[in-house]
Amino acid sequence: MSQTAMSETYDFLFKFLVIGNAGTGKSCLLHQFIEKKFKDDSNHTIGVEFGSKIINVGGKYVKLQIWDTAGQERFRSVTRSYYRGAAGALLVYDITSRETYNALTNWLTDARMLASQNIVVILCGNKKDLDADREVTFLEASRFAQENELMFLETSALTGENVEEAFVQCARKILNKIESVHPGVIWSEWPLSPCRPAVATDGLEGLVRG
């Protein structure tokens, strides 16, 4: 198989959102994940931006289609229209800004209402490299995550720490959910079986087989 054909082969396609207040580093996280570089000239996102990448999760190739949304309030009605069908989300705050942490509940409510009640969300406390300016402790954010059934990592789009992990952990949890919904599926045969549902139910409607 050619390099291009290989790189476009995947078993699953998941729609992901990156949400959270303006300036928390959403665009930089997406850029670091895709390009493995820090985007040091990042401007406010206008509406939404898009990126995609294929990752290997436990031997399965998963294509992530990622929508990076503007955090500014004035774009809220535009960004909300992109939530539908998302299977996963990175919910981002800035560890040096309590204001961005205080806004998390609103973002989460939107995600669960507009995407799905069962959307898999990973909370990302970004700018971990700025520990000296921290306004939100790891412990309180962990508690928030636990209370709201979120996964949680502190990340740095600047150093790259935990960036890949955030996307991969979210994708892995979605795959685990699919496996629990379809326990009888023999994964090696999945792409060959036209009768298998391509779209999983129970809030996993963002999943489309590749």
Ligand X SMILES: Nc1nc2c(ncn2[C@@H]2O[C@H](COP(=O)(O)OP(=O)(O)OP(=O)(O)O)[C@@H](O)[C@H]2O)c(=O)[nH]1
| Residue 120 CA: distances (Å) to CA of 48, 56, 145, 158 | 20, 18, 12, 25
How far is 70 from 44, CA to CA, in rounded Å? 7
C-alpha neighbours within 13 Å on the C-beta side of residue 10: 21
Give me the least distance between CB of 175 and ligand X, in Å please.
Answer: 27
Which positions from 66 to 105 touch ligand X by CB under 6 A, shown as an x/- string?
Answer: ----xxx---------------------------------
User: Which part of the chain contacts ligand X (CB under 6 A), choosing from 116-124, 150-158, 183-191, 199-207?
Assistant: 150-158
- Give the residue, chosen from 25, 88, 125, 206, that forms a contact with ligand X under the rule CB under 6 A: 25
Give me the least distance between CB of 59 and ligand X, in Å please.
Answer: 31
Does residue 45 bind ligand X (CB under 6 A)?
yes
* Token code pair at residue 180: 């629990």
Q: Which residues contact 75 (CB under 8 A, 6 or more apart)?
A: 45, 46, 47, 69
Nearer to ligand X, 124 or 178 (CB): 124
